[in-house]
Structure 1
């Protein structure tokens, strides 16, 4: 997309609500916009916005093979409530077997390099397959989530995946999000009520303590920026 067209689109989206912005994206990129859901609270809001307007935006999720049972159960509940099918992508079997052979079943605890290798095999590579052939990638990112995400825009060019990335909830607060979930009776993961704010793979996620950052429960044994590579600059 040319720079001027990108700026025009950004200005239009800045004036719209999240729901209207999603409708505009669906209209401008028919059949070429997809939404990746990890079944977190933000993503559940976007699923509701897409489903309630019956927008032609394909919803997909990544099953890493190490998800919480509660997350998988929520996926089924979400499909049932919104009468929609969430397309699930899995890591390549050969890649997982090779990874486990190389670093062990829980080798990601041993080094940042090992952990990033695991994230690449189980998340990044499947994401690339899911995005292939599409023009817009809708995400549930919010600026409040981390310092890295605070610098992101409502819509931007994702160089790593060569695709437009649209973040309709970028300026939403945590309270705004939870109020929306309550008002619209959006199904959510019961782990959120137990201190699990950001939920990923079971071995890599813990509940946060009072006063801790929302991302502190992810890869808690590391001092890194708490990202898996899906949204790397």
Structure 2
């Protein structure tokens, strides 16, 4: 049975969107605020809806918004085993302030042991291929497990974040994960809008942001940037900008969209 126009239930009760409804929704959300997008996502997909959070600034904004709209929304994170201590600090602050449960997905033990045994501890700096292999082990495979039980997931992607993200929409089909729906409520926002919200609503954030880290991932792959540098310059700084995605957001049709992860 359809819950809303363009939304169909398939075997097992999973809900999917038609291509036509995707176009209509993105047109509708182009001038709508992120809370409107989140309200639609909750009404349409809950409880099979989850926020993927790396606890960057955008993700903290979304956690704050969801705490007011639907506090029971699932929040999960990918713990690669190489995160900054400051990331764990803000995770704990979020858990305490918003009274939420955070589901952590770790890479497979055998895969990590083989990676470090066969390739070493810093193989990701040898080539783009080696770095993507590490991301695949530590991020992409755990993400696949996290998304198996949901019909839609929410991210903190914004078009302004990187050249690889200019083509994203508020609502997309994620062909890399069984054609579930991917929702990017902050797609239209600028970085100043993100920080204005954080200040106005007293949202906790990663202390590394105050140290020149606009984008925060694994500790060995993230550095502070200098004034005037691109916001993604601190991620995998030894690579060309065109390759700077970890594979979490491949849409199966248009290539990598990337994330704040």
Structures share fold, TM-score greater than 0.5: yes
Quote how far apart the aligned CAs of 1:15 are. 4.7
Quote how far apart the aligned CAs of 1:9 are. 2.9
Any conservation in 1 of the 2:213–2:223 contact (CA below 8 Å)?
Answer: yes
**Separation of aligned partners in 2, 1:220 and 1:113:** 15
* Paired residue secondary structure (1:156): strand
Quote how far apart the aligned CAs of 1:224 are. 4.5
**Separation of aligned partners in 2, 1:56 and 1:32:** 11
Per-residue CA deviations over 1:34-78 (Å, capped at 9, x if unaligned) read: 110000000000000001223442111010000000001110110
2:83 is aligned, of 24, 43, 67, to: 67
Change over 3 Å in CA distance of 1:203–1:29 after alignment to 2: same
Does 1:228 pair with 2:246?
Answer: yes
Residue in 1 that maps onto 2:259? none
* RMSD between superposed Cα atoms in Å: 1.2
Residue in 2 that maps onto 1:150? 166
Per-residue CA deviations over 1:1-39 (Å, capped at 9, x if unaligned) read: 222222333344335321121111111112111110000
Change over 3 Å in CA distance of 1:213–1:15 after alignment to 2: closer
**Separation of aligned partners in 2, 1:134 and 1:31:** 8
Quote how far apart the aligned CAs of 1:88 are. 0.7
TM-score normalised by structure 1 residue count: 0.96
**Separation of aligned partners in 1, 2:235 and 2:113:** 24
Per-residue CA deviations over 1:152-190 (Å, capped at 9, x if unaligned) read: 111111111122111000010111110100000000011
Does 1:107 pair with 2:126?
Answer: no
Any conservation in 1 of the 2:30–2:188 contact (CA below 8 Å)?
Answer: no
**Separation of aligned partners in 2, 1:11 and 1:71:** 35
Quote how far apart the aligned CAs of 1:90 are. 0.5
Residue in 2 that maps onto 1:210? 227
Per-residue CA deviations over 1:121-146 (Å, capped at 9, x if unaligned) read: 00000001001121111000011100
Does 1:48 pair with 2:64?
Answer: yes
1:165 is aligned, of 170, 177, 182, to: 182
Question: Matched residue pairs, number?
Answer: 233
Residue in 2 that maps onto 1:189? 206
Any conservation in 2 of the 1:23–1:55 contact (CA below 8 Å)?
Answer: no
Per-residue CA deviations over 1:80-127 (Å, capped at 9, x if unaligned) read: 000111111111100100111121011111111111110000000000
Does 1:176 pair with 2:184?
Answer: no
Residue in 2 that maps onto 1:14? 30
Instruction: For structure 2, list consecutive stretches of 5 or more residues without a partner in the other structure.
Output: 1-16, 256-261
